[in-house]
């Protein structure tokens, strides 16, 4: 007996229930869902000659989306190390404003993967990481490295789509 294929709308049901027209994250979530479905299809089908390369490219795109949307294991590990167990306290200043108390704050851990910063100028149009390290602003340089990693993932994602999108079905 042939298995009846479910309507594709069911796959998007929970995404469409939270339809935000103003949110780029929603657009990326829809795109990721479609790429995941395509990845699963190309993994088992024989529609194209280069299925293994198409499957590989789609898998890379899915991982890159996770990186630039801050949903990958490296970013989550770094967040866990950096901010778990941290209690944020504030003190009131004489002028009525508040400032964060960071007397017992532990130093921010490095991101647990290597990020090539030699070409940071290509993505930031200047050298903020190099400048921050020269000014001994380590924490700022770590946040900039995370941003650079995201920018590189976004760039590579769009590059793969630009070069491979029309060839995935040949």
User: According to the 3-state scheme, what is the secondary structure of the chain?
Assistant: CCCCCCCCHHHHHHHHCCCCCCCHHHHHHHHHHHHHHHHHHHHHCCCCCCHHHHHHHHHHHHHHHHHHCCCCHHHHHHHHHHHCCCCCEEEECCCCCEEEECCCCCCCCCCCCCCCCCCHHHHHCCCHHHHHHHCCCHHHHHHHHHHHHHHHHHHHHHHHHHHHHHHCCC
Question: Residue 134: which pLDDT band, with cuts at 50, 70 and 90?
Answer: very high
Q: For residue 127, what pLDDT is reported?
A: 94
The CA-based angle 102-105-108, given to 5 degrees, is 120
Closest by alpha carbon to 140, among 107, 112, 115, 113?
107
Averaged over 27-44, what is the pLDDT? Answer: 90
Beta bridge partners of 100: 90
pLDDT digits (tens, 9 = 90+) for 65-85: 999 999 999 999 998 888 776
Instruction: For residue 45, give both structure tokens.
Output: 């089908």
Q: What are the φ/ψ torsions at residue 75 (nearest 5 degrees)?
A: -65, -40
In terms of phi and psi (left: phi > 0; alpha: psi -120 to 50; beta: otherwise), the region of 70 is left
Q: Is the pLDDT of residue 1 over 60?
A: no
Instruction: For residue 32, give both structure tokens.
Output: 């990721």
Please give the mean pLDDT across all residues of the chain.
86
């Amino acid at each position: 007996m042939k298995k009846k294929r479910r309507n594709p709308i069911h796959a998007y049901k929970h995404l469409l229930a939270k339809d935000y027209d103003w949110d780029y994250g929603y657009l990326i979530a829809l795109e990721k869902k479609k790429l995941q479905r395509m990845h699963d299809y190309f993994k088992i089908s024989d529609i194209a000659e280069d299925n293994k390369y198409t499957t590989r490219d789609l898998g890379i795109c899915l991982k890159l989306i996770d990186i630039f949307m801050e949903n990958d294991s490296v970013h989550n590990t770094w967040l866990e190390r950096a901010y778990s167990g941290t209690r944020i306290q504030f003190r009131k200043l004489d002028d009525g404003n508040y400032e964060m108390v960071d007397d017992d704050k532990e130093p921010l851990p490095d991101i647990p993967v290597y990020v090539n910063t030699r070409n940071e100028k290509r993505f930031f149009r200047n050298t903020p990481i190099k400048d921050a390290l020269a000014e001994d602003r380590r924490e700022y340089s770590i946040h900039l490295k995370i941003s650079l990693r995201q920018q590189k993932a976004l760039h590579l994602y769009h590059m793969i789509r630009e070069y491979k999108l029309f060839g995935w079905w040949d």
